[in-house]
């Protein structure tokens, strides 16, 4: 076991920070609550960005950039919005050596300033839909921060669309929820519950919020992305009007949807183990690391090095044909190397040793299971990508099995409380309560309604209010 990582069972929070530290993903910044995303962490973010950006473009969206600073008065135009975000705002009061006439807010999210611009750009139904996404930093002041999960500044993307009809806007809201779910499941390996948020968990200013919820390996939930149907609320606040096909003036229907660097936290807490980071191959910036080993594995045999380098190069060439990016590590003592590469989460270790050369094969070691497999040289191009694919599927299946094992259904509040007195996890329950009931449940158990999962359209008696015909909700303690 790694001596620089506290075991999960001993202290889950410390384990999480140790995994991030040993993988060199991030570090705390000198400004309270802010983080530095280190090169390994940023490469992971670039990989996540690449998958999302491609999917956004395939679904007809374009990127743009809106300003960091938002006039305070903008935030106040939508009543629920300002109530939700004002307490978290960072405020610029001075600039260019002078006090500003109106304080400026560092964007916590950009519905307001984007709404203002859309009102200038939209005149007729011909100008709709507008399908824009933005990659940027946002600021929500946090008293208690945790790397990737809760920091005052974080990186994210925010999509903002405007449509001529309510139906189109709702279709967009659900389409982007589907895009999120698809990439989160199939690339990041995170089993997702996608569904509508309860009243108390809705985005400030939205008519409906939908979210992707994932279970972390401590049984807590993490909201991995949200998609909001904003109705005409922001269009009214920012006067996004257009002449419809009938020649009448109407307010546009808008949506917004976002996902952030907290996805890195979700990956860490879903797949990693007591040896450190584990990355699903499709999102891993480096898929495999090639290391030479000596027969007794205690040191690198100097005589072996030239042959190992040559073999590594050959391997690299073969795998790059299959778009498999590999690194080589010839630097440290073998023990350190195994260790360092384990902790970085690289999905496969390819070991080149004298013994293996003789047999015309090499050993591949899976990061997720530790399993060793002999691969012959003539099978490299086929076996390595297949093995990576197998790891991808296995990690997802393992996470899904964990979630299923840690999900229970309850019928009344007594059973509900019992679960959260114990190990927690996801609790399914029919629920028809509102903000007040949600507040009580949270106070008594720490759990919140995560969503009404779309795949489970059952109805039943509310576990809390006893009302009939309640929708099935999933509750959990959440990050």
Q: What are the residues binding its own copies (CB under 8 A)?
A: 27, 29-31, 34-39, 41-43, 45-46, 62-71, 74, 86-97, 103-104, 106, 113, 116-117, 120, 132, 136-137, 139, 141-143, 152-153, 155
Q: What stretch of H or E contains 13?
A: helix 12-22
Closest CB to its own copies among residues 336, 458: 336
Helical residues (DSSP H) of 257-376, grouped into ranges:
262-271, 304-320, 334-343, 354-359
Q: How far is the CB of 346 from its own copies (least distance, A)?
A: 16
Tell me the C-alpha distance between 376 and 379, whole Å. Answer: 5
CA-to-CA separations, 389 to 12, 275, 437, 439, in angstroms, rounded: 29, 22, 45, 43
Closer residue to its own copies (CB): 97 or 306: 97
How close are the terminal C-alpha atoms of the chain, in Å? 27
* Residue (55 or 86) nearer to its own copies, CB: 86
- What is the CA angle 24-28-34, rounded to 5? 125
Spatial separation of the C-alpha atoms in residues 257 and 52, rounded to whole Å: 12
What size, in residues, is the chain? 479
Which residue's CB is nearer to its own copies, number 2 or number 90?
Answer: 90
Dihedral sign computed on CA atoms, order 449, 455, 459, 460: negative
> Measured between alpha carbons, how far is 150 from 141 in angstroms, rounded to an integer?
9
Q: Which two tokens stand for residue 330?
A: 């010839």
Min CB(183)–its own copies separation in Å: 19
User: Rounded to the nearest whole angstrom, what is the least distance from the CB of residue 352 to its own copies in the complex?
Assistant: 24
In the complex, the smallest distance separating the C-beta of residue 221 from its own copies, rounded to whole angstroms, is: 25
In the bound state with its own copies, the residue whose beta carbon lies nearer, of 112 and 209, is: 112
CB 318, min distance to its own copies, A: 22
- Tokens standing for residue 13: 């929070």
For residue 286, CA distances in Å to 215, 290, 303, 325, 336 come to 25, 11, 28, 5, 19
Tokens standing for residue 332: 């440290």
Query: Minimum Å distance from CB 400 to its own copies?
Result: 31
Closer to its own copies at the Cβ: 77 or 181?
77
**426 pairs with which residues across the strands?**
407
Containing 20, the helix (H) or strand (E) segment is helix 12-22
The minimum distance between CB 255 and its own copies, in angstroms, equals 17
Letter string b/e over residues 169-207, b meaning 16 or more CB atoms within 10 A of that residue's CB: bbebbbbbbbbbbebbbebbbbbbbbbbbbebbbbbbbb
**Strand, helix or coil at 338?**
helix
Q: Taking the CA atoms of 148, 153, 159 and 161 in sequence, report the sign of the dihedral they define.
A: positive
Looking at beta carbons only, is 314 or 325 nearer to its own copies? 325
Least distance from its own copies to the Cβ atom of residue 14, Å: 20
User: Which residue number, 336 or 444, has a Cβ lying nearer to its own copies?
Assistant: 336
Q: Which residues are 289's β-sheet partners? A: 327, 349
94 versus 421: smaller Cβ distance to its own copies: 94
Q: How far is the CB of 138 from its own copies (least distance, A)?
A: 10
Report the nearest approach of its own copies to the CB of residue 70 (Å): 7
Q: What are the tokens at 358?
A: 């003789």
CB of 35 to its own copies, least distance (A): 7
Cβ proximity to its own copies: between 15 and 74 the closer is 74
| Cβ distance to its own copies smaller for residue 17 or 29 | 29
Q: In angstroms, rounded to a whole number, what is the distance separating the alpha carbons of residues 183 and 260? A: 13
SS3 of residue 464 by DSSP: coil
**Contact (CB, 8 A) for 321 and 380:** no
Closest C-alpha among 246, 258, 241 to residue 162: 241
């Amino acid at each position: 076991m790694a001596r620089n990582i506290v075991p999960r069972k001993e202290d889950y929070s410390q384990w999480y920070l140790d995994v991030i530290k040993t993988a060199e993903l991030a570090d705390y910044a000198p400004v309270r609550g802010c983080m530095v995303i280190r090169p390994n962490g940023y490469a992971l973010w670039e990989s996540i960005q690449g998958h999302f950006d491609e999917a956004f473009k395939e679904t007809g969206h374009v990127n743009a950039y809106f300003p960091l600073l938002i006039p305070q008065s903008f935030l106040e135009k939508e009543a629920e919005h300002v109530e939700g975000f004002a307490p978290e705002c960072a405020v610029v009061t001075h600039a260019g050596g002078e006090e500003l006439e109106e304080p400026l807010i560092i964007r916590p999210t950009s519905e307001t300033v984007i709404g203002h611009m859309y009102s200038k750009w939209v005149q007729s139904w011909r100008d709709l839909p507008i399908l824009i996404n933005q990659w940027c930093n946002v600021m929500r002041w946090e008293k208690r921060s945790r790397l990737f999960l809760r920091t005052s500044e974080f990186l994210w993307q925010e999509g903002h669309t405007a449509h001529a009809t309510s139906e189109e806007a709702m279709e967009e809201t659900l389409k982007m929820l589907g895009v999120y779910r698809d990439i989160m499941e199939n690339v990041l390996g995170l089993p997702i519950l996608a569904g509508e948020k309860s009243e108390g968990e809705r985005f400030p200013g939205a008519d409906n919020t939908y979210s992707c919820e994932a279970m972390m390996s401590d049984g807590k939930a993490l909201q991995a992305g949200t998609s909001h149907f904003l109705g005409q609320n922001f269009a009214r606040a920012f006067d996004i009007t257009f002449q419809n096909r009938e020649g009448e003036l109407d307010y546009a229907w808008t949506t917004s949807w976002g996902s952030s660097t907290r996805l890195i936290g979700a990956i860490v807490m879903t797949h990693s183990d007591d040896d450190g980071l584990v990355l699903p191959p499709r999102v891993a910036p480096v898929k495999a690391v090639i290391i030479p080993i000596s027969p007794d594995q205690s040191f690198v045999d100097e005589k072996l090095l030239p042959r190992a380098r040559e073999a590594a190069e050959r391997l690299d060439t073969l795998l790059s044909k299959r778009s498999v990016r590999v690194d080589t590590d010839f630097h440290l003592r073998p023990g350190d190397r195994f260790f360092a590469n384990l902790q970085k989460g690289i999905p496969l270790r390819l070991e080149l040793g004298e013994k293996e050369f003789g047999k015309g094969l090499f050993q591949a070691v899976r990061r997720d299971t530790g399993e060793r497999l002999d691969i012959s040289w003539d099978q490299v191009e086929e076996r390595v990508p297949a093995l990576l694919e197998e790891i991808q599927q296995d990690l997802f299946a393992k996470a899904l099995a964990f979630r299923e094992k840690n999900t229970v259904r309850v019928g009344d509040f007594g059973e509900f409380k019992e679960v959260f007195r114990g190990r927690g996890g996801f609790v399914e329950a029919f629920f028809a309560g509102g903000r007040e009931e949600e507040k009580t449940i949270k106070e008594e158990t720490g759990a919140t309604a995560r969503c009404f999962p779309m795949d489970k359209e059952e109805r039943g008696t509310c576990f809390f209010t006893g009302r009939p015909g309640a929708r099935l909700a999933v509750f959990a303690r959440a990050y």
